[in-house]
Structure 1
């Protein structure tokens, strides 16, 4: 199991709503899922750039995570996320 941290600074809530409608199926295609998500945060240390939305994603392995991010059939799904605002996804491992 490998995890990814996703954060979005939302500028287009409508696009985010559309993304949420298809995100789980897109993740599941490569064995991924959302382990948890939040819109409220408490800083424990430092001064991070705070998003509006953050999620912890899991995948069976690194190859599955990369396949999800580069799958040409999911390009429209990733475009919806990017259209919702500034998004970053970091693989932890």
Structure 2
């Protein structure tokens, strides 16, 4: 199992609303899922630039995570997420 940290600073809420119902099935297509998500992330230490939405994603392995982000059939789904605001996803491992 490998994890990814996703954070989104929302500037276009309507794009985020379009993205939400598509996100889970897009992840599942490559064995991924949302392990935990929050619309109210809280810093434990330091002064990080907090997003509006933060999530921990899981995938069976690195290859599945890379297949998810690079899947041409999911380009529109990723574009919706990116269009919702600043979107950063970091693979942990």
| TM-score scaled by length of structure 2 | 0.98
Counterpart in the other structure of 1:85: 85
Counterpart in the other structure of 1:71: 71
Q: CA deviation at 1:39?
A: 1.1
Tell me the distance in 2 between the aligned counterparts of 1:53 and 1:46: 18
Structure 1, 42-51 or 67-76: larger mean CA deviation: 42-51
Mapped pair 1:4 → 2:12: no
Q: Which runs of 5+ in 1 are unaligned?
A: none
Contact 2:41 2:52 in 1 (8 A): no
Q: When the two structures are aligned, how many residues end up with a matched partner?
A: 93
Q: CA deviation at 1:29?
A: 0.3
Map of 1:1-93 to 2, 5 A cutoff? 1-93=1-93
SS of residue paired to 2:68 = helix
Q: Which runs of 5+ in 2 are unaligned?
A: none
String of CA shifts for 1:13-44, please: whole Å, max 9, x gaps: 11001100101000000000000100112211
| TM-score scaled by length of structure 1 | 0.98
Q: Please provide the CA RMSD for this pair.
A: 0.6
